[in-house]
């Protein structure tokens, strides 16, 4: 049976997911919030702004019309950057059919509310909200678009919905596991972007492989610490959504968060580095502010995250931040 899937968003990952879902015989519609961008994508069958060189199958419908965004959809895929999601879903809420399941592929924590992507959806849609899921893991979009092997996880409180997403989007080159820890998968996907900025800063400073290995290890410790305080499971952070995604994001030359950090480490201002990636969004920048606020709220020590925040928002130099991390009071490794 053909499944009708509406993708809300027009970024690189929305495009890749659309291709995979279409390859599996699903009826796919991609909605862009920008009518001209939708027209360009429909005409050229290529996402020139976010994923040039990747052809969109002719079977995929593209629209910029709000009324058509989720019309007759059996499943909705949420692919709008975290800090813009609330505005988009307020705009589309009247077109959402109550109870329609939604899978988020977004990584971030909303500023001020400190809500995860699926929590933002539930907050906007209220009692109309259907089953929610989050797909996350080591999956750099340009690599998946080239059909290079990737493995991710889909988490939901509704096991049947997780299995539905698993079946609908899995490809020979894209393996999907299920997971019951929705908070953990979303928190892991958000917080690893902040650590990736720190990894990029190290690269920009030519700090070496030893420093990178230590950063990843201790970064995983602190994001796990936050996750546990918020009710997530420790094993999630040792899995694909945690350690797996952290490694990819911190080492890949294609990762925006790492590349942003590298630019800052080499001397670019935060504003210059952010602008160089436009119109793409460096999610870890806004997420750093949210995670620091969460850490304060939960009384959790997160020195790497706070160092990134200080560089990005408080004007501290990258070198000073590294020195301060290295000269913190000595302690046992388990702390």
Q: Alpha carbon of 255 to those of 98, 197, 247, 264: distances in Å?
A: 36, 10, 11, 14
Q: Side by side, which strands form the sheet with 132-136?
A: 61-63, 27-31, 4-8, 75-78, 102-104, 132-136, 150-156, 174-179
CA distance 294 to 300: 8
Q: How far is CA 125 from CA 27, 41, 91, 97, 118, in A?
A: 24, 28, 11, 10, 11
Residue partners of 323: CB distance under 8 A and separation at least 6? none
First-to-final CA distance of the chain: 52
Q: Of the listed 71, 147, 192, 331, which one is catalytic?
A: 192
Check residue 180 and report its DSSP letter: S
| Residue (of 193, 177, 295, 294) closest to 239 by Cα position | 177
Distance CA 192, CA 245 (A): 7
To the query of whether residue 71 is one of the catalytic residues in this protein, the response is: no
Exposure string for 67-98, b = 16+ CB within 10 A, e = fewer: ebbbeebbbbbbbbbbbebbebbeebeebbee
- Cβ-count burial 217-236 (b if 16+ within 10 Å, e if not): ebbbbbbbbbbbebebbeeb
From CA 150, how far away is CA 181, in angstroms rounded? 20
Task: Find the helix packing angle between 318-326 and 303-313, rounded to 10°.
Answer: 160
Q: Among all residues, which ones are annotated catalytic?
A: 192
């Amino acid at each position: 049976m053909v499944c009708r899937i509406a993708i809300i968003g027009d970024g690189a990952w929305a495009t890749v997911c659309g291709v995979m879902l279409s390859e599996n015989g699903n009826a796919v519609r991609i909605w862009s919030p920008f009518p001209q961008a939708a027209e360009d994508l429909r005409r050229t069958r290529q996402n020139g702004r976010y994923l040039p060189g990747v052809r969109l199958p002719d079977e995929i419908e593209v629209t910029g019309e709000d009324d058509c965004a989720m019309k007759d959809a059996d499943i909705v895929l949420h692919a709008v950057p975290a800090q813009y999601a609330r505005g988009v879903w307020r705009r589309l809420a009247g077109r959402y059919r109550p109870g329609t399941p939604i899978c988020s592929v977004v990584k971030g924590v909303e500023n001020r509310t400190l809500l995860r992507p699926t929590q933002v959806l539930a907050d906007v849609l209220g009692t109309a909200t259907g089953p929610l899921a989050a797909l996350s893991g080591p999956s750099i979009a340009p690599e998946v678009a080239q059909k290079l092997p990737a493995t991710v996880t889909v988490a939901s409180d509704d096991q049947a919905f997780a299995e539905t997403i698993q079946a609908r989007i899995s490809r020979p080159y894209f393996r999907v596991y299920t997971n019951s820890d929705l908070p953990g998968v979303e928190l892991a996907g958000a917080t690893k972007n902040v650590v990736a900025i720190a990894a990029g800063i190290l690269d920009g400073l030519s700090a070496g492989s030893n420093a990178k290995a230590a950063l990843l290890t201790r970064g995983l410790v602190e994001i796990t610490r936050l996750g546990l305080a918020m009710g997530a499971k420790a094993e999630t952070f040792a899995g694909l959504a945690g350690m797996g995604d952290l490694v990819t994001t911190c080492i890949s030359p294609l990762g925006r968060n790492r590349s942003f950090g590298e630019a800052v480490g080499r001397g670019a201002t935060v504003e210059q580095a952010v602008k160089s990636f436009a119109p793409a969004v460096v999610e870890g920048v806004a997420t750093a502010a949210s995670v620091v606020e969460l850490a304060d709220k939960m009384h959790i020590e997160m020195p790497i995250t706070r160092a990134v925040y200080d560089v990005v928002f408080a004007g501290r130099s990258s070198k000073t931040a590294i020195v301060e991390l290295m000269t913190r009071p000595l302690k046992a490794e388990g702390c």
